[in-house]
Structure 1
Amino acid sequence: MQAFSVAASGIAAATARFDASARRTAVAPLDNLAAESVERIQAEVALKANAAVLRSANEMTGTLLDILA
Structure 2
Amino acid sequence: MDPIATASYGMLAASRRFEASAQRTATMGVDGSTTSYEREAVEQITAKHQFKANLATIGAAQDMWDALLRLQERR
Of 58, 62, 65, the match for 2:66: 62
Q: Which residue does 1:2 correspond to in 2? A: 2
Query: Which shifted more, 45-54 or 25-34?
Result: 25-34
CA distance in 1, matches of 2:50, 2:35: 24
Q: Is the 8 A contact 2:14 2:50 kept in 1?
A: yes
Q: Which has the higher helix share?
A: 1
CA distance in 2, matches of 1:5, 1:39: 24
CA distance in 1, matches of 2:57, 2:38: 29
Cα distance, 1:33 vs. partner? 0.4
TM-score normalized by structure 1? 0.94
Of 26, 33, 37, the match for 1:33: 37
Q: How many residues were matched structurally?
A: 69
Cα distance, 1:2 vs. partner? 0.6
CA RMSD, 1 decimal: 1.4
Following TM superposition, the consecutive aligned residue runs of length 4 or more in structure 1 with deviations greater than 4 angstroms are none
Q: Which runs of 5+ in 1 are unaligned?
A: none
